[in-house]
Chains A and B, each alone.
Chain A
Amino acid sequence: MSDDSDIQPLVFMMGNFAAEFPIDRQYAKNHMWAEARDGVWRFGFSAYAVRLLQDVYFLDWSVDAGTTLREKHEIGSIESKKAESSLYAPIAGRLVRFNEELLSDPSAINLDKYGAGWIFEIEGSGESLLSPQGYMEHLAGVWEVTQRTIKGQMNE
């Protein structure tokens, strides 16, 4: 996480939980942060996603590094304390590399989600990415649906 105390993260209240979102990066609608570095976008899970997942136990990729992805291309799966899910490309582009460390030990996703817990890097256009403020608005729009999704599945 950023040490700059003068740059306050944005906060979204998920019930009583305050999810924090650093403003030094962009966000994708599928709840990943995106940081521009050396011509690629580095992605990781936002606090919103991590709060829903809780402890991550297992990540697996169904594509290899170097693969060209379309937006929403299915790229792998995740297992956590609370969820099992497939994962999808946040933007179109070439998947440059995965954070290989997470394959044997995914705990960095929980311990340092905005730093060492990065997931993968994609070379592509970031024009569909949202500003931190834009992501807050997106969250406000989807929070109700997310709660219904979780409750709905819990009741099944």
Chain B
Amino acid sequence: MAKRIAVVVSQGQSAAPAKRQLEEDIVAALLMEPGIDVVVVPHLYDLKADGTGILALRGIMGNMIVLSWLYERGARWTLDRAGIRGKEGLTTIKAADDEDEEEENEDNEEQGVDDKERVNDSREIPNRKIYCLDLRVHSAAQPYIDEVKRIARENSMQLVSLGIGMELGGRPKTEQLARLAQPTNDTALPLHPHPSPLPKGEGAAALTRIDEELGRRWYPVIDYSRCTNCMECIDFCLFGVYGVDKVETILVEQPDNCRKGCPACSRVCPENAIIFPQHKTPTIAGASIVAESLKIDLSKLFGAPETGETAEQAAVRERDEQLVLAGREAVGASVGLPKRHEAKSAEPKDELDSLIDALDKF
């Protein structure tokens, strides 16, 4: 009883031959694998809200592996913003020097979960897994191919365990099994999601390539596993990017109102939950750790100024710059920051500020 899994390859914006080669090597190898359907789309983040790329991804009902040139979190929450949701699939693809830090992060997150309610705790999430793999971690295709195969195996084993009733606890009744096969709740997804164009039992993969004329986009995505719905972002942003849904949960309502290059709201988010996947600062782009670049940084050569700003000062400056560009009045720190200012007088900087400062200096 093989279960098919969809593998989405999101192409990079860069014309770097090594990157294109990596994408194509992975696609070519996966086409030889049984039970895998491959979809190639242009850069995930740039896909238009109702373009063919997003529609194709929304059409994938079962488990999905997404390979993109984005941090795992950046990709996951970009998909979420596009209405493509699922439970987080865990991958073994990690930056090499990641592991110690990862443990620390998990500790921190666990502490956080204890005392704060996160938006994700109360959201309805479809019963399938999405695995996001960052194509920048390895330069060779093999680790990705191995990981996709591992996930595909994990995927088919889950099905077997479901089949013998493990997940139902003990011996399932006939009607329970029937309900498993034909779920009655609307969050469940079909067990056999991928009507394959191929005859049953045949393994070869289907390849779909989606071409979409894309401009470059710029907008935030919210990590709802961190977001506490505190509304600081909606108070701070003066361009109408944020809104709330029917149950008063914060959302990126008008992504294209966002001002190109401006990451100010992510700097004031107390939970570091706002991701700009294309920002050059790794923590803003969704890195859980700071991965070191292998390439030299020539920014100083091209005129990078020295800054000694705090994250909040940077946010206020960035917002003022955008207000002036839009022909509006600069507001400085007078709007959208009251809560933080009070906290500031007692504690000059929190950990996140120091971290971002350290990154900026770097």
Contacts and interface: CB of A to CB of B under 8 A. Distances in A.
B232 to A, nearest CB: 23
Contacts of A150: 296
A68 B324 CA distance: 9
Given A62-B260, A79-B14, A86 B301 contact: no
Given A30-B303, A72-B303, A86-B280, A57 B298 contact: no
B219 to A, nearest CB: 13
A99 interface: no
Interface stretch (A4-12, A13-21, A34-42, A103-111): A103-111
Contact of B302 (A30, A64, A105): A30
Considering residues B17, B19, B298, B305, which has the most beta carbons from chain A within 10 angstroms of its beta carbon? B298
A84 B301 contact: no
Interface string B273-305: 000001010000000000001011111111111
A153 B261 CA distance: 27
B178 interface: no
B46 to A, nearest CB: 11
A86 B299 contact: yes
Interface string A110-124: 000000000000000
Interface of B is mostly: loop
Interface string A38-63: 00000000000100110001101111
B15 A57 contact: yes
A58 B298 contact: no
A146 interface: yes
B15 A30 contact: no
A85 B297 contact: yes
Q: Is the interface of A mostly helix, strand, loop or mixed?
A: mixed
A85 B15 CA distance: 16
A63 B260 contact: yes
A60 B301 contact: no
Given A57-B15, A60-B216, 17 more contacts: A52-B301, A58-B16, A60-B13, A60-B278, A64-B260, A79-B14, A82-B295, A83-B297, A83-B298, A86-B280, A86-B299, A88-B299, A88-B303, A90-B303, A103-B216, A107-B15, A146-B301
Interface of B: 13-17, 19, 216, 218, 260-261, 278, 280, 293, 295-305, 325
Interface of A: 29-31, 49, 52-53, 57-58, 60-64, 67-68, 72, 74, 77, 79, 81-90, 103, 105-107, 146, 149-150, 153-154
8 contacts: A61-B216, A67-B325, A72-B303, A74-B304, A79-B295, A84-B297, A85-B298, A103-B216
